[in-house]
């Protein structure tokens, strides 16, 4: 046989040089999701000992069949809406439920996996009191998935699959909550450095496992969530966002922006898109009407002042029109807010998502 076969090694070498991850047939990219409750689609429901769970009503009231699924939302969350943008029905399944799937494991694995765990953060200490899966452990789980993929389709195909996969990470809010709950004496700038250094380690670990395309969602104005408005009232006696927390979120965003820019030079083929959750949410809070929101201060589901003194559960009070609320419970956005966020991440302008948006991140013809 006298045909010339280009060795696989050369192809991989070339694709590294060119920094491209191509898909021959244009199939949607697999999606791997890591992070916290904004993206958890049932991880913590698999851990009965976890104190950060949402697998009970009124959570899930707007999910198909009004089913509580462990999502901290009245329905779908951002991971679901991002999944839809890339051709899935919703978010990929949680890692912990894939383990129970048996023979259907493979079919699901090839679409991607969701590792996000409510209460978790960048630091292992964050949420440790609640029993959650910190980011480092989520990455260890991803490493297992990579082994499973390798066993299914081999090394080369796994490398190719991961190269064109999207890795969405939504984390950091709980680290900031932790900083204030612990009344930490670490100076703020030093704390930001600790978080950014941890983020850098996590991204490099994922890169070393084959991840190339990162869709990163930074910290929203956590000081404006109903629970922190309560804190502001208690501490300073005024109705407003708790601004020290927002300042930290803002500083985190610029530090993360710098980090990602600098990682680009050291990691061949690394590609990212950074969603500015602070700015997108703040713009809605300052000017809610065009987005269809009528209440951007209270929780839709909860109890007490701003519906933020108690958690959302079956006996909590529920707002009449959930589509007009920004916040579902004392910490989390409504399904409507999550849908808007996903739209902006997918196709928004550079003020909200940069240097490219998530649709461009997935686009192989536009490297």
Ligand X SMILES: *C1O[C@H](CO)[C@@H](O)[C@H](O)[C@H]1NC(C)=O
Contact set with ligand X (CB under 6 A)? 105, 125, 128-129, 144, 147-148, 151, 178, 181-183, 185, 303, 310-311, 313-316, 347, 349-350, 357, 359-360
How far apart CA 244 and CA 179 sit, in angstroms, is 11
In the complex, minimum distance from the CB of residue 178 to ligand X, in angstroms, rounded to a whole number? 6
Tokens of 270: 């690394």
Least distance (Å) from ligand X to the CB of residue 107? Answer: 12
* Least distance between ligand X and beta carbon 48 (Å): 16
In this complex, which beta carbon is closest to ligand X, that of residue 294 or of residue 363?
363
- Is residue 37 annotated as part of the catalytic site, yes or no? yes
Total length of the chain: 367
Paired tokens of 144: 């297992």
Task: Specify whether 298 is catalytic.
Answer: no
Q: How far is the CB of 211 from ligand X (least distance, A)?
A: 18
Let me know if 329 is a catalytic residue: yes
The residue (of 244 and 310) whose beta carbon lies closer to ligand X is 310
Sign of the dihedral defined by the CA atoms of residues 339, 312, 283, 253, in that order: negative
* Closer by beta carbon to ligand X, 247 or else 294: 247
Decide if 136 contacts 202 (C-beta within 8 A).
yes
Spatial strand order in the sheet of 112-114: 112-114, 31-35, 166-170, 213-217, 271-275, 353-354
Q: Of 46, 58, 202, 332, which residue is the catalytic one?
A: 332
Please say which residue, 7 or 187, places its beta carbon nearer to ligand X: 187
The nearest distance, CB 348 to ligand X, in angstroms, is: 7
- Residue 110 backbone dihedrals phi, psi, to 5 degrees: -70, -15
To the nearest whole angstrom, how small is the minimum distance from the Cβ of residue 20 to ligand X?
Answer: 18
Q: Which residue of this chain has its Cβ atom nearest to ligand X in the complex? A: 310
Spot the catalytic one: 37, 170, 218, 338: 37
**Of 91, 329, 338, 339, catalytic:** 329
What minimum distance in Å lies between the beta carbon of 353 and ligand X? 8
Distance, CA of 251 to chain centre: 19
Residues 6+ apart with CB under 8 A from 150: 158
**Residue 83 token pair:** 């999944």
- Closest CB to ligand X among 95 and 293? 95
**Helix count and strand count (H, E) for the chain:** 13, 10
DSSP codes of every residue in 184-235: --S-HHHHHHHHHHHHHHHHHHHHHTT--EEEEE----GGGSHHHHHHHHHH
User: For residues 41 and 54, is the Cβ–Cβ distance under 8 A?
Assistant: no
Alpha helices in 46-172 (DSSP H): 78-85, 95-98, 105-109, 135-153, 155-164
CA distance 339 to 350: 19
Q: In the beta sheet, which residues pair with residue 37?
A: none
| Residue 346 near residue 359 (C-beta atoms within 8 A) | yes
C-beta closer to ligand X: residue 168 or 293: 168
Residue 14 or 99: the one with the smaller Cβ distance to ligand X is 99
Q: How far apart are CA 37 and CA 14, in angstroms?
A: 39
For the annotated catalytic residues, the residue numbers are 37, 329, 332
């Amino acid at each position: 046989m006298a045909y010339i076969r280009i060795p696989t090694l050369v192809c991989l070498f070339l694709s590294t040089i060119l920094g491209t991850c191509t898909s021959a047939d244009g199939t949607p990219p697999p999606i791997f999701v890591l992070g916290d409750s904004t993206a958890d689609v049932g991880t913590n429901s698999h851990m009965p000992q976890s104190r950060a769970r949402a697998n009970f009503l009124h959570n899930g009231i707007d999910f198909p069949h009004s089913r509580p699924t462990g999502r901290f939302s009245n329905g779908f969350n951002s991971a679901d809406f991002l999944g839809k943008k890339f051709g899935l029905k919703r978010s990929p399944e949680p890692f912990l439920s894939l383990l129970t799937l048996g023979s259907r494991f493979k079919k699901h694995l090839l679409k991607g996996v969701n590792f996000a765990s409510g209460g978790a953060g960048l630091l292992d200490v964050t949420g440790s009191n609640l029993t959650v899966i910190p980011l480092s452990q989520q990455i260890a789980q991803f490493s297992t998935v990579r082994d499973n993929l390798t066993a299914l389709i081999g090394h080369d195909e796994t490398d190719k699959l991961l190269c064109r996969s999207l890795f969405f990470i939504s984390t950091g809010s709980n680290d900031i909550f932790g900083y204030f709950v612990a009344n930490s004496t670490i100076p703020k700038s030093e704390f930001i450095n600790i978080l950014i250094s941890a983020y850098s380690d996590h991204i490099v670990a994922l890169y070393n496992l084959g991840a190339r395309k990162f869709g990163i969602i930074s910290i929203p104005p956590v000081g404006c969530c109903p629970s922190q408005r309560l804190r502001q009232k208690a501490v300073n006696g005024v109705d407003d966002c708790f601004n020290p927390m927002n300042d930290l979120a803002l500083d985190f965003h610029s530090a993360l922006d710098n980090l990602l820019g600098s990682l680009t030079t050291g990691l061949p083929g690394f590609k990212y898109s950074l969603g500015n959750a602070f700015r997108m949410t703040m713009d809605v809070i300052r000017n809610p009407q065009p987005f269809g929101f009528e209440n951007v201060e209270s929780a839709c589901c909860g109890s007490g002042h701003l519906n933020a003194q108690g958690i959302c559960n079956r006996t909590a009070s529920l707002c009449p029109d959930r589509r007009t609320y920004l916040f579902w419970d004392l910490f989390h956005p409504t399904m409507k807010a999550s849908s808007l966020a996903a739209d902006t991440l997918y196709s928004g302008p550079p003020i909200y998502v940069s240097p490219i948006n998530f649709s461009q991140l997935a686009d192989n013809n536009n490297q």
